[in-house]
Amino acid sequence: MRSNGIRAIFAAIVFFCLNAPAVAACDDLWDWLNSPCRRLVDTYEHGGNDLLVSGFAWHTPWTWTAEKRAEENQNAWGGGWARTVERINGDSDTVFLLIFSDSHYRPQYNVGYGWSTYWGKRNELQGGLGYTVMVVARNDIFNGWPFPVVLPLVSVRYDKLTVFTTYIPTFSGVNNGSILYVFGKIALD
């Protein structure tokens, strides 16, 4: 678990602290990678600060046995920090670092990017859809080595508060069942 934490801290430092060279490095990439790279850098440099609050992991009863669900942690407490840019068209881009208690009561480290689009007026309750692309490190998967993940996002946003839900499907040989995970974001700026 100690090496897992060191890897996550190293990834966060590289991702968040070394952003100035990343701008120049984006120009050195292939054209198809230049645009996503610049979007990440722009989001980090120009985004507002957010507090992430982790809270609940529902282990779906149709993919888990009752005995296994009773063993798992549903209180996925944790937190993190993010930077978000809201676009004129209602889309939002977020870069984040999130750490929470996984299903086995161990830390799960997440560093990534999220994109969401929203419907409705910004000063009212809004529904949104999007995705997240991240690097995850958990003790029980790949011996703690970080691995990439792409997941859907469903959200509800009002003023400075956004509640997100994502669905983590069952992957044979990797996890035991599907999970509906809920977390929140509070805009600080």
pLDDT at 96: 96
The H-assigned helical ranges of the chain are 2-12, 19-27, 31-46, 66-71
pLDDT at 144: 84
Active-site annotation holder among 59, 93, 116, 155? 59
pLDDT at 160: 96
Active-site annotation holder among 54, 103, 116, 155? 103
Q: Work out the number of other CB atoms within 10 angstroms of the CB of residue 65.
A: 12
Q: How far apart are CA 79 and CA 53, in angstroms?
A: 5
33-69: per-residue pLDDT in tens? 778 888 888 899 999 999 999 989 999 998 888 898 8
- Percent of the chain topping pLDDT 70: 85
SS3 for 124?
coil
pLDDT at 13: 53
83-103: per-residue pLDDT in tens? 999 999 989 999 999 999 999
Active site residue 35: no
Q: Work out the number of other CB atoms within 10 angstroms of the CB of residue 38.
A: 15
Active-site annotation holder among 50, 54, 92, 102? 102
Residue 3 banded pLDDT, cuts 50, 70, 90: low
SS3 for 81?
strand
**CA triple 47-96-118, angle to 5 deg:** 65
Residue 26 banded pLDDT, cuts 50, 70, 90: confident
Active site residue 178: no
pLDDT at 27: 72
Q: pTM score, two decimals? A: 0.83
pLDDT over 70 at 18, yes or no:
no
Q: How far apart are CA 100 and CA 106, in angstroms?
A: 8
143-169: per-residue pLDDT in tens? 889 999 999 999 999 999 999 999 988
Active site residue 59: yes
Q: How far apart are CA 107 and CA 100, in angstroms?
A: 5
95-135: per-residue pLDDT in tens? 999 999 999 899 999 999 999 999 999 889 999 999 999 99
